[in-house]
Amino acid sequence: MSSWSWAGSPRRVRRGALLAAVTAAVWTAGACAAITSDPTVPASIERVAKPFPSIAVGDTLRDTLGVAQPLRVVVRDLAGDPITDAPVRFQYVQFDRDSALDVDSITGFVRAVKLPTGSPVLVAARVGTFIQVLDTVRVVVPPDMVSLTRDTAIVGFVPDTGARGIDNNSAPVEVKLQSDSAGTLRDAQGWLVRFAILRPFNPTNDTTAAAFLISETTARPSQFDTSGTTGLAARRVRIRPNIFPSGTTL
């Protein structure tokens, strides 16, 4: 992987280089209204996955292109159909004891004023009196440094059998994200990292290619990881030896 030529020594990177597209997912909240025979009355509310896992201090929630985005929910009627004009209102749950978030109650736009004093940080989305859903918001100091955790990422493999066991793939290719605050390095948690194989070229992580990326924990194809509490993010490389180009190195 030519992208690992920085080999261990921290380098400053642009924020945009660490951003990646995330497939939005929707999951159902448990909050429901009282049963009613009117299919136009809101019966449930669901939160929509945020376009980025965290909000930088002093900034608003953004997508991977840097465009400001609100928190989003889907309100459904008794038949399960979306109600597009439902009067949703948003509220910072800890507003009475902490001023970390500035939440627009109508649009759902959230700005992180400062690091919160406690966790979890919650925003409630409500429709009427009885229906609400809580969404956790992670506020972080954005990273400005990234480094490999080892000098060389050694890739080993066995003949390709189509199995997904992680023992059939490389050791973790791991990076550490940190922020420099007045000369003190702090681990950067909750930041999205995109990995890509540059040689042999596979920017879209095509799983039929000679080499592609997988999750180090599930072994499923994945280019993206979110840094943990220690600032670490990692992916493994899976190789198909029968089609790997002769003389090619990663």
Which of the residues in the chain have pLDDT under 70?
A: 1-39, 151-169, 246-250
* Cis, peptide link before residue 200, omega less than 30° from 0: yes
pLDDT at 169: 67
SS (HEC) of 69-135? CCCCEEEEECCCCECCCCCEEEEECCCCCCCCEEECCCCCCEEECCCCCCCCCEEEEEECCCEEEEE
pLDDT at 247: 61
CA-wise closest residue to 176 among 64, 56, 10, 16: 10
pLDDT at 1: 36
Residue 54: helix, strand or coil by DSSP?
A: coil
- Per residue in 6-60, pLDDT tens? 333 444 444 444 433 322 223 334 444 455 556 678 999 999 999 999 999 999 9
Residue 103 and residue 110: Cα distance in Å, rounded? 5
Note if the pTM is more than 0.75.
no
Q: What share of the chain is helix, strand, coil (3-state, %, to 5)?
A: 5, 35, 60
